[in-house]
Structure 1
Amino acid sequence: MQDIGTASSTGTGGQPVPGRIVISVDAMGGDRGAEAVAEGVRLSALANPDIGFVVHGPEPELTKLLSRPELQGRCVIRHAEGVVKMTDKPSQVMRSGSGTSMWSAIESVKQGEAVAAVSCGNTGALMAMSMIRLRKLPGVNRPAIACLWPSRNPSGFNVTLDVGADIRADAEDLLQYALMGASYARNGLGLQRPRVGLLNVGTEEHKGRAELKQAQDMILAATEIGGFDYVGFVEGGDLPGARCDVIVTDGFTGNIALKTGEGTAKLVSDFLKEAFRATFLSKIAALLALASLKRLQKRIDPRRVNGGVFLGLNGTIVKSHGSADATGVSAAIKLAFQLAQSGFQERLATRLVQVTQAQQEAAGLRPVAGNDRNP
């Protein structure tokens, strides 16, 4: 392990960058290679002096990429030769993944030397490794991936989950997603009492599958303990809307919605470029509207909200888009830092314990031990 800019380094389990919130970064596995990740780390260092980094990958390559003045004393390199490819199956990775940069990045969180990990790599492999090394929080059946969706809300975003961790979700899972999503919105977006909606084919009470109706009753009953308001069923058009702050669905539906939204944003951007380049007058119009167009581009730029958070694990893992450039990687690191700074992980664990206790008491069972911190 090499500490960029210093003469010594600490061992596993120590604090590699004293005095800073340390983020573990998997430098390999993304479509753009280690160069984009290293540049994203550099941009993060420039933007926030309170972040330290443990970067995982081949030491000789990373030493060259991270030898920047702004990273001196703030970046530790942990050597890992193996790389998890996008085409690798999770089952294959689990048999031989301990020598990879992805495994090493998660291990830093497991050992307590980093508070969160960021990776651009294979989503299935990242989730499988995270579950094996970090384990699920008590009371969680299925972890979820939550993403920030640009919306008309004052915060500018909606939290949507699950967007791909597991294609299945029963009523109990959807309740847990609501609790985790509300905690994420509370700590990540600063919303004191988030509004939660359940994605369905219509807002009418009689529509939807049986498990959705059961989940609706369970979510409604948990609003006070969970610290959120339930607005009822929502539709696809509410994803970018202002009706709620958290949208709950299964991973199959959520992933399709996410990819559709990303594709639509790119299509609109391409259409606008074509329209403004069509004629001489349209080019003049584009110049006159340049400031407005830049604001629009910023709002719909997927790099700005890059980073899906794995919820329900004993540790914070942020999945960056595989094709993320330096700007996208920097955004994912910023998200990991914000969640760590807010104490999100501890607050989420506390909230889940409180709800589990309430459910056990309602069923006449002896509640599990917990604490009374206010998440």
Structure 2
Amino acid sequence: MGKALTIALDAMGGDAAPKMVVRGASIALERFPEVRFIMFGREREIAPLLKNKGRLQEVTTLRHTDDVVGSDAKPSVALRSGRQSSMRLAIDAVQAGEADCVVSAGNTGALMAMAKFVLKTLPGINRPAIASFFPTMRGESVMLDLGANVQCDAQNLVDFAVMGNAFARSVLGLQEPSYALLNVGSEEIKGHESLQEASAILRASGLPGKFLGFVEGDDIAKGTADVIVTDGFTGNVALKTAEGTAKLINEYMRHTFRSSLLAGLGYLLARPAMRKLRKRVDPRGYNGAMFLGLNGIAVKSHGGTDALGFANAIGVAVDMQRHGIIEKIRTDLTLLDRSPGNAQAAVV
């Protein structure tokens, strides 16, 4: 059993909250029996769900609030008017030291805005990034940013590389991760000025692992790099494209196996292999986007996930806290030369 830690849960965040959150916490508790929870939300809805959950009820403190951040709320509005919301109070618990990390399946923009406002960013980081896992031919990789920062300069990309590198070492367990910048080509002359500057800085840095330079879109699934760095606009498009492609292939397979009696027989024979495939690409297994660069651990679960997916998001928070990712990022930032003009000098 590991060291006890407390997780603040936004019990009202997500399409199927609070039932999904309570069930997810129960599943996570089986994997991490040392965890304690503080759930924030409407007591009249949450308490009955906890009543028959045995040990989960014993290790959970319920904090009542009627306020909930809507899924369509603008981040700026949520930040001003959501001070007593379940999301904000869960984040406040981390800032106050009552909890070690926060997990929410609520509004992504609101969660980022609140977490940045309350927890602040680490020294040297001016923009936190959203990172998540990607299944690849080689296992798993991490990609960032996935939507928090639509426009990025060279220093932002370098910071993302530092944070992704630390995450790969902490959560993926890679001592010497490979990392690269997503570009329109792998040649050194390709890409806009910010990518060129970021590449030059990273080549000259003393970060652990191996900098591969530039990779292309098809390298994501290949697993060419353990960490893929890009701006939030490109990263979000890549993420949604991958999700859409996975759904398309699944639908094609469904139609194919239903197209004839012989195809249906083929499915029956292939069913064990199909189960393995579904498990390998099940998005619930990769649920839990990380807000890296904050002075605290915050994990965003997909709003439409089920209990198993939410449990996996809790697992990501536990892994980040256990492996000291914040301290790793602090240490790695000291390896970079942030003197004025360093990027331009490195390019030249």
| 2:165 is equivalent to residue 185 of structure 1 | no
Q: Which residue is equivalent to 1:264?
A: 245
Q: CA deviation at 1:47?
A: 2.6
Q: Calculate the aligned-residue CA RMSD, in Å.
A: 1.6
Q: Give the letter for the 1:172 counterpart.
A: Q
- Could you report, residue by residue, the CA deviation over 1:125-184 in whole angstroms, capped at 9, with x for unpaired residues? 10110011000100002110011000122xx21110000111011000000000000000
Q: CA deviation at 1:235?
A: 0.5
Q: Which residue is equivalent to 2:335?
A: 355
In structure 2, how many angstroms separate the alpha carbons of the residues matched to 1:140 and 1:238? 27
Q: CA deviation at 1:298?
A: 1.1
Q: CA deviation at 1:210?
A: 1.1
In structure 1, how many angstroms separate the alpha carbons of the residues matched to 2:276 and 2:7? 30
Secondary structure at 1:355 match in 2: coil
Q: Which residue is equivalent to 1:373?
A: none
Q: Which residue is equivalent to 1:306?
A: 287
Match of 2:137 among 117, 129, 152: 152
Report the TM-score, using the length of structure 1 for normalisation. 0.87
Q: Which residue is equivalent to 1:12?
A: none
In structure 1, how many angstroms separate the alpha carbons of the residues matched to 2:41 and 2:116? 21
Cα distance 1:270–1:331, how it changes in 2: closer, same or farther (>3 A)? same
Match of 1:92 among 70, 74, 77: 77
In structure 2, how many angstroms separate the alpha carbons of the residues matched to 1:164 and 1:336? 20
- Could you report, residue by residue, the CA deviation over 1:64-113 in whole angstroms, capped at 9, with x for unpaired residues? 11221131321111112111111100111111111100001101111112
Q: Is the 8 A contact 1:185 1:246 kept in 2?
A: yes
Secondary structure at 1:72 match in 2: helix
Secondary structure at 1:346 match in 2: helix
| 2:55 is equivalent to residue 70 of structure 1 | yes
Q: CA deviation at 1:362?
A: 9.9
Secondary structure at 1:261 match in 2: helix
Cα distance 1:338–1:233, how it changes in 2: closer, same or farther (>3 A)? same
Q: Give the letter for the 1:219 counterpart.
A: L
Q: CA deviation at 1:19?
A: 6.1
Q: Which residue is equivalent to 2:15?
A: 31
In structure 2, how many angstroms separate the alpha carbons of the residues matched to 1:247 and 1:336? 21
Q: CA deviation at 1:29?
A: 2.7
Secondary structure at 1:192 match in 2: coil
Q: CA deviation at 1:228?
A: 2.2
Match of 2:311 among 304, 327, 330: 330
In structure 2, how many angstroms separate the alpha carbons of the residues matched to 1:70 and 1:343? 27
In structure 1, how many angstroms separate the alpha carbons of the residues matched to 2:274 and 2:60? 37
Q: CA deviation at 1:54?
A: 1.1
Secondary structure at 1:81 match in 2: coil
Q: Which residue is equivalent to 1:255?
A: 236
Q: How many residue pairs get matched?
A: 340
In structure 1, how many angstroms separate the alpha carbons of the residues matched to 2:31 and 2:123? 36
- Could you report, residue by residue, the CA deviation over 1:216-263 in whole angstroms, capped at 9, with x for unpaired residues? 1011111x2x21211111001011113110000000000111111111
Cα distance 1:86–1:143, how it changes in 2: closer, same or farther (>3 A)? same
| 2:124 is equivalent to residue 139 of structure 1 | yes
| 2:31 is equivalent to residue 47 of structure 1 | yes
Q: Is the 8 A contact 1:269 1:297 kept in 2?
A: no
In structure 1, how many angstroms separate the alpha carbons of the residues matched to 2:38 and 2:169? 28
Q: Give the letter for the 2:11 counterpart.
A: A
Q: Give the letter for the 1:188 counterpart.
A: V
Report the TM-score, using the length of structure 2 for normalisation. 0.94
Q: CA deviation at 1:360?
A: 4.5
Secondary structure at 1:182 match in 2: helix
In structure 2, how many angstroms separate the alpha carbons of the residues matched to 1:22 and 1:299? 30
Map 1:157-176 → 2, pairs under 5 A: 157-176=140-159
In structure 1, how many angstroms separate the alpha carbons of the residues matched to 2:255 and 2:220? 27
Q: Which residue is equivalent to 1:14?
A: none
| 2:269 is equivalent to residue 288 of structure 1 | yes
Map 1:191-202 → 2, pairs under 5 A: 191-202=174-185
- Could you report, residue by residue, the CA deviation over 1:306-345 in whole angstroms, capped at 9, with x for unpaired residues? 1110000000110111111111101101111111111122
Q: Is the 8 A contact 1:46 1:70 kept in 2?
A: no
In structure 2, how many angstroms separate the alpha carbons of the residues matched to 1:197 and 1:231? 5
Secondary structure at 1:173 match in 2: helix
In structure 2, how many angstroms separate the alpha carbons of the residues matched to 1:165 and 1:331? 22
Q: Which residue is equivalent to 2:214?
A: 233
Q: Is the 8 A contact 1:199 1:236 kept in 2?
A: yes
Unaligned 5+ segments in structure 2 are 343-348
